[in-house]
Chains A and B, each alone.
Chain A
Amino acid sequence: AQSVSQHNHHVILSEAASLELGCNYSYGGTVNLFWYVQYPGQHLQLLLKYFSGDPLVKGIKGFEAEFIKSKFSFNLRKPSVQWSDTAEYFCAVNTGGYQKVTFGTGTKLQVIP
Chain B
Amino acid sequence: SQTIHQWPATLVQPVGSPLSLECTVEGTSNPNLYWYRQAAGRGLQLLFYSVGIGQISSEVPQNLSASRPQDRQFILSSKKLLLSDSGFYLCAWSVRGWDSSYEQYFGPGTRLTVT
Contact = CB atoms under 8 A, between A and B. Distances in A.
Contacts of A101: 34, 46, 94, 102, 104
Contacts of B90: 44
A90 B43 CA distance: 8
Which range holds the interface residue count of chain A? 20 to 34
Interface string B2-25: 000000000000000000000000
Contacts of A6: 43
Contacts of B42: 105
A88 B65 CA distance: 28
A86 interface: no
Contacts of B96: 97, 99
B46 A90 contact: no
Contacts of A32: 99-102
Given A90-B43, A105-B42, A105-B43, A96 B101 contact: yes
B103 interface: yes
30 contacts: A9-B41, A32-B100, A32-B102, A43-B109, A44-B44, A44-B90, A44-B92, A44-B106, A46-B103, A49-B101, A51-B100, A52-B99, A90-B44, A92-B104, A96-B101, A97-B96, A97-B100, A98-B102, A99-B51, A100-B46, A100-B49, A101-B104, A102-B46, A103-B43, A103-B46, A105-B41, A105-B43, A106-B41, A106-B43, A106-B44
